[in-house]
Amino acid sequence: MLSRRPNPRMRRLAAQVLVSAMLLGTAGVVAVERPVAADSVDDAKRKVRQMADQLEAAEAEADRLSEELRIAEDDKMQLEIGITQTEADIAVKQTELGGLQTEMSDLAVEAFVGGGRGGSITGLLAPGGGPNESVQKQSLTEIALNVGFATSDKLDSVITDLAQLTEQLNKQKNTAEDLAKSIIGLQEKTDKEISKYTKLVAKAEKELGSALAAERARRAAAAAAAARAQAAALVASRANGIPNSPGEAAKKVFDPSTIPSTSSRAAIAVAAAKSQVGVPYVKYMSKEGVGFDCSGLTSYAWQQAGISLPHQSRAQFARGPQIPTEYIEPGDLVYFHSPISHVGIYIGGGMMVDAPGVGRNVRIAAVTWAKVVGVTRPG
């Protein structure tokens, strides 16, 4: 009589159940088709941990690239606004130069008619530019020395300003072109990373199911406990005169009396952020109940408290005021990565509310203090 071979699917399911029970600390006996060897359980647990590591790394990279892309696109938009302004400034200077050239030509006519200078004035009446520009300028200056010195000085100033503006415009346009190219490459890289993460999630859920969920829950709980302990240590360190905590980008000694105090607005911002937990992450969005990216969430939360913030993490950090991490309070904004590419709103006890990235929702999460690069207090 042939022996019946165990069903591979049932064996995999049994291993998942056993690993889930071990990760969650579940007591009791788990019924399986046949005993699972110790090395098989170890292999399963190792696979779960490795997958959790991969997911965390993929999430972090997708989030970083998404925010980098957002910042690059914002920079390009600001650069285009600058180009428009420079072009407008050039137009004003060109108009001013045209008026001065007319005035100088009138002076030239006066000098010519009055017998002050001989020769033709046709070249002097022509607008500037071309190979004769330096000759024209010299001639006008010589005339101005006799009948209009102040006008010549003003002409020199306008010509200099116009040259500087033209150089500035060329630099701005070159920078905008380079940035546009980099955005295309960054967009492709971001899309690939998001696709990679999405596929990894689907594979993880299919292969590891509840075991992976248990491992991630365990990690979240451990992170929360560590964050609470570190938050308490930060508060305690205020009395010790320690200037800054490890992990901050810049080391400065702060005078506690210069740190702005918190206000009731902070509680409003915290409540607004918490009310959006579960709302999907949507790049470039800041819309209540619909979608947020990280800086969109923090700008929304503080907008409810009457404070306007730019929709960009680095711009929010630059707006300040910046405070030492030891003095962080609920409502403060906490920033990550260097250069800054993520922001959340601190709610106390080592926890924050943030919009973590593509494929996930606004959440309450532990602050990884070692990765904090700055804190600001909007109001």
* Rounded distance between C-alpha atoms, residue 264 and residue 331, angstroms: 10
* Rounded distance between C-alpha atoms, residue 367 and residue 352, angstroms: 6
> Is 241 strand, coil or helix?
coil
* Rounded distance between C-alpha atoms, residue 30 and residue 23, angstroms: 13
* Rounded distance between C-alpha atoms, residue 132 and residue 230, angstroms: 73
How many residues in the chain? Answer: 379
Residue 317 lies in a domain: yes
If 0-12 CB within 10 Å is exposed, 13-18 middle and 19+ buried, where does residue 296 land? Answer: buried
Residue 24 lies in a domain: no
Query: Closest Cα partner for 121 from 151, 95, 142, 98?
Result: 142
Residue 318 lies in a domain: yes
pLDDT of 72: 86
* Rounded distance between C-alpha atoms, residue 45 and residue 208, angstroms: 10
- pTM for the model stands at 0.64
Beta-bridged to residue 366, according to DSSP, are: 351
If 0-12 CB within 10 Å is exposed, 13-18 middle and 19+ buried, where does residue 259 land? Answer: middle
In the DSSP assignment, the letter for residue 125 is H
pLDDT of 133: 59
**Other beta carbons less than 10 A from residue 153's beta carbon:** 12
Q: Is the bond leading into 356 cis (omega within 30 degrees of zero)?
A: no
- What confidence tens digit (pLDDT) does each residue in 75-89 have? 888 899 999 999 999
Helix axes 264-274, 294-303, angle to 10 degrees: 130
Residue 221 lies in a domain: no
Per-residue CA distances from 110 to 44, 100, 135, 164, 234 (Å): 98, 15, 19, 32, 79
Residue 222 lies in a domain: no
Domain that holds residue 343: 241-376
In the DSSP assignment, the letter for residue 259 is S
Residue 306 lies in a domain: yes
* Rounded distance between C-alpha atoms, residue 355 and residue 286, angstroms: 10
| Residue labelled with tokens 């009395």 | 239
Residue 277 lies in a domain: yes
* Rounded distance between C-alpha atoms, residue 343 and residue 296, angstroms: 10
All residue ranges of the chain with pLDDT < 50 are 1-4, 8, 10, 13-15, 17-34, 36, 116-126, 145-149, 244-250
Number of domains in the chain: 1
* Rounded distance between C-alpha atoms, residue 174 and residue 172, angstroms: 5
**What DSSP string describes 319-369?**
HS-EE-GGG--TT-EEEETTTT-EEEEEEETTEEEE---TT-B-EEEE--G
Strands lying side by side in the sheet with 342-348: 322-323, 372-376, 333-336, 342-348, 351-354, 363-366
- In the chain, which residue ranges form alpha helices assigned H by DSSP? 8-24, 38-113, 122-125, 133-147, 149-237, 264-274, 294-303, 313-319
pLDDT of 290: 97
Q: For the domain that residue 324 is a member of, what is the CATH number?
A: 3.90.1720.10
- Contact call for residues 300 and 276 (beta carbons, < 8 A): yes
pLDDT of 7: 54
In the DSSP assignment, the letter for residue 238 is G
- What confidence tens digit (pLDDT) does each residue in 265-278 have? 999 999 999 999 99
Tokens of 170: 């060329």
* Rounded distance between C-alpha atoms, residue 148 and residue 153, angstroms: 9
pLDDT of 139: 58
Q: What is the largest CA-CA distance in the chain?
A: 131
Q: Is the bond leading into 321 cis (omega within 30 degrees of zero)?
A: yes
Residue 293 lies in a domain: yes
